[in-house]
Structure 1
Amino acid sequence: MFEIKKIAVGAGMKGKFVNKAVLTVLCCLLAAGCAGGAGRKPVEEAQSTLKVLYFNESAFYQQYGDLFSMENKNVELEVVSTQGLNNNLEDKTYEEAFNELVEKEKPDVLLLDPGTFAEYINDGKLLELDPLLKKDQYSVEGIYPGLLDMLKELGGSKLYGLAPTFYGNAVFYNRELFRKYGVEPPHDQMTWQEILDLARRFPADGDEESRVYGFGNDYSASVDYLINKIASSEDLMYVNPATMKVTVDTDSWKRVYELAIQASSAGVVYSPKDGGFMGGTIEQFYRSQPFLMGRAAMMVGDPFTLQMLKQAKTAIKDYKPFELGMVSGPVDPADPSTTRNAGINEIFAIHAQSANQDIAWEFLKFVNGEDYARVKSRSMNGDLMSRMGFMKDDNGQSLDVFYALKPKLNRNDMNSRKVPTEFRGQFQSLMSEEIALVQENKKSLDEALKTIQEKGQAALDQALKVQKDNKGNQGGDANEVFIMPRPAN
């Protein structure tokens, strides 16, 4: 019998990549594998070599390379892997090591995160794509408009890269529970305040193992989790990257803390005392998920949640399906037509000094084209295709909700690489300790925020000093790709 163990990863892009890998493995254990595919017009040239910078060679071929090679037999792909780059930093930062690798290997196609993408544009290292689009009459009309706007914003209104996929969230809800308890169902553009207010209208009594929760994500929705999720949606930063000052002792942060603490204290969110599922069989994993089991009215999820709902039917003998609903959100109340819970993991760009720009452009056109989207949409788990119209309705459930809001750049994503990695863990521990004191009525929230501000600043100053004195020794592992934290789903 398969065993699943809960894997703790730091919030962020690192967490996103690791979490994506874990979800993909789980899905492969439960479902059928990937489909083969089609493409655009093959490259009709003599044998050529295309160097592609990617975080892992096997992952590249599985996701992109195999399909491209089938259609372009005259192109030999060479993958320059960044995997393990953090383990050999010596006296360099990750960014310096990354830049040195690019300079040494001179890849034609670069995989970049939004922060590095913006830096490379400013440094003139990337080829502008607009002239190529015009020359080839390559249509981008079918690509998620908000995603293109985000890429153009990073490029100062010009396009320097394309993203085949993106990640996005929506508010999932159990229609049957809302009908049973006479609660008005969620609506599009839900804020966290509205989500948690709605959750309060469900009963909060009963046994922890069998009761209904107003809100319950796949893992325990602790106060820390809620604070991070709400703050991310509203673009609140706990460190100002320009001044390197901790910024939590403000009215905006206080409101977020109050909202999360009150929701947790009211018992309306799933936050088991034992921390929830920590290991066991696939069936035990699914039974531990309150929303999947019909015991939570709402959760915030992504397309992989739909896959888990399907697989639960086969993994649990007595599983009882329920009527699912989905609406857009969570959103920032100050800008409800946009979302910071959608963004880009993988931006492909062409090196400005590439000697194979024509072939590199063929690669970008292929992986961002309709044929590629048509094939890969059959095997996507947690991410979404940027080309709209190819992600199929799941059991009658439209996926349009994931394309309903305009993605907006998250300042935490763009700036957090300036914050030392070790500080983040220290800050999270400090925050958890102070929240616990507030919940135990041993401190007021104002006192706790003051302590978090002061001790957090001291920890940040020390981490920056250590970073300066011992440049590059900031931790990391072979799976870390980009140091850009973003709260996981």
Structure 2
Amino acid sequence: MAWTDIFNLAKRVAKGEGKDRKFGLAFNHYNSDPYWDLQTYAAPLQLKMFDKKAEKMSVDTALWKKVWNDFADLYQSKIIPSPADLNLGGGDHIKNSVIITDPFQSDIFMNGRVAMTIAGYDYVSQLTQARDAAAKNPKIPSVDWDVVTMPQFTEVPGTGGNIMLNNLMAINANAQNGEDAWDFIAFNNSKEWARLKSRSSYEMVSRKSFLKPKDGNTYNIAAFYSLKPVPPQDPVIDRLYEEKPNLYQIRQLAQQLILDVLEKKRSVDEALETWQTQGDVLLQQIKTNPNGPLDGTGTYDGGGKTN
């Protein structure tokens, strides 16, 4: 489905008020951080905060505005839970002077507070464990679930979600036992090892023939690999963050501004214009002083405006 389809569906199923509110969608089944949720949502678009020299901001654009407006509408309509919303439900309670702990208090999908969530392949094992535990104890929640592909942007069809590659191997050019090392790598990429590794509940092997639902489940496992993954960040940008640690302040400025938007202290246009303008000031300071303290000009003051 497209993101617009998911948003419309989320709006249809969301209902209730206060601690009884049932939300339509969550970008994380444990907590809510608007800035990082926004990054998850916008990742396939590969929007750029600044140029490849980290000298000029590039956020006051139509596409950035669309992404922020989409997100603000979902939060303000309580389709997606905010951190404050999540604090209204779950948690420990006291009965006869004894603290009773809800083991699923922090999982908003498993405890029924959200209809749809985004999670990785490892979450399948957690849902399976909850199902097995619920069969023995009716007080433990269990949900009826399945898996679909990540929603897609019409601007980037066929792309969604992320893939992380673990346990990559290489042979040192000066290795004394190069042939033995090659044999070991060949074994780790063989069908025999893939067959054994495919039993893992937390990782998927790269050989599709060994990918099947486990533990009696019948979920749509193909959803995890049907789309192209979001390309990794430009290595030039990665290197800039290494060379100029102060660049994190550009992100920190955005974290405050998105909260202003969600709390209706600013419009999206005002927030992105501020991010663009004050970000440019910060970038010039960072260019001069990439590691040390800055003079404070262009930093957020916590009162709905920037210095």
**What TM-score comes out, normalization by structure 2 length?**
0.77
- The reply to whether residue 194 of structure 1 matches residue 17 of structure 2 is no
Q: Which residue of 2 aligns with 1:211?
A: 21
* Alpha-carbon distance in structure 2 between the residues aligned to 1:413 and 1:306: 32
Counterpart secondary structure, 1:407:
coil
Counterpart secondary structure, 1:215:
strand
Shift of residue 362, structure 1, vs aligned partner: 1.5
Q: Which residue of 2 aligns with 1:456?
A: 279
Residues 362, 242 of structure 1: CA spacing in aligned structure 2 closer, same or farther, 3 A cutoff? farther
AA at the equivalent of 2:210:
F
**Aligned with 1:251 (options 62, 67, 82):** 62
Q: Which residue of 1 aligns with 2:120?
A: 302
Shift of residue 451, structure 1, vs aligned partner: 1.1
Residues 218, 319 of structure 1: CA spacing in aligned structure 2 closer, same or farther, 3 A cutoff? same
- The reply to whether residue 262 of structure 1 matches residue 73 of structure 2 is yes
Residues 211, 199 of structure 1: CA spacing in aligned structure 2 closer, same or farther, 3 A cutoff? same
Residues 199, 303 of structure 1: CA spacing in aligned structure 2 closer, same or farther, 3 A cutoff? same
AA at the equivalent of 1:387:
R
Q: Which residue of 2 aligns with 1:112?
A: none
AA at the equivalent of 1:347:
L
Q: Number of residues paired by the alignment?
A: 279
Counterpart secondary structure, 2:207:
coil
Q: Which residue of 1 aligns with 2:211?
A: 391
* Alpha-carbon distance in structure 2 between the residues aligned to 1:243 and 1:428: 13
Q: Deviations over 1:222-261 (max 9, x none)?
A: 4313321122122112232245432211111111111111
- The reply to whether residue 341 of structure 1 matches residue 152 of structure 2 is no
Q: In angstroms, what is the RMSD of aligned CA positions?
A: 3.2
Shift of residue 418, structure 1, vs aligned partner: 1.7
Is residue 378–residue 391 contact of structure 1 (8 Å, CA) maintained in 2?
no
Counterpart secondary structure, 2:47:
coil
Shift of residue 444, structure 1, vs aligned partner: 2.3
**Aligned with 1:220 (options 19, 31, 51):** 31
AA at the equivalent of 2:225:
Y
AA at the equivalent of 2:257:
E
**Aligned with 2:50 (options 239, 242, 262):** 239
Is residue 218–residue 289 contact of structure 1 (8 Å, CA) maintained in 2?
yes
**What TM-score comes out, normalization by structure 1 length?**
0.51
Q: Deviations over 1:63-106 (max 9, x none)?
A: xxxxxxxxxxxxxxxxxxxxxxxxxxxxxxxxxxxxxxxxxxxx
Q: Deviations over 1:42-75 (max 9, x none)?
A: xxxxxxxxxxxxxxxxxxxxxxxxxxxxxxxxxx
Q: Deviations over 1:442-476 (max 9, x none)?
A: 32221211111122233333334333779xxxxxx
Counterparts of 1:274-353 in structure 2 under 5 Å? 284-313=102-131, 317=137, 318-339=139-160, 341-353=162-174
Percentage identity across aligned positions? 29
AA at the equivalent of 1:400:
A
Residues 351, 242 of structure 1: CA spacing in aligned structure 2 closer, same or farther, 3 A cutoff? farther
* Alpha-carbon distance in structure 2 between the residues aligned to 1:459 and 1:313: 50
Shift of residue 345, structure 1, vs aligned partner: 4.5
- The reply to whether residue 416 of structure 1 matches residue 238 of structure 2 is yes
* Alpha-carbon distance in structure 1 between the residues aligned to 2:177 and 2:9: 55
User: Which of the pair has the greater relative contact order for Cα pairs under 8 Å at 6+ separation?
Assistant: 1
Counterpart secondary structure, 1:214:
strand
Residues 448, 332 of structure 1: CA spacing in aligned structure 2 closer, same or farther, 3 A cutoff? same
Q: Which residue of 2 aligns with 1:74?
A: none
- The reply to whether residue 359 of structure 1 matches residue 180 of structure 2 is yes
Q: Deviations over 1:121-176 (max 9, x none)?
A: xxxxxxxxxxxxxxxxxxxxxxxxxxxxxxxxxxxxxxxxxxxxxxxxxxxxxxxx
Residues 393, 335 of structure 1: CA spacing in aligned structure 2 closer, same or farther, 3 A cutoff? same
Residues 219, 457 of structure 1: CA spacing in aligned structure 2 closer, same or farther, 3 A cutoff? farther
**Aligned with 1:429 (options 243, 252, 260):** 252
Q: Quick check: which one's strand share is greater?
A: 1
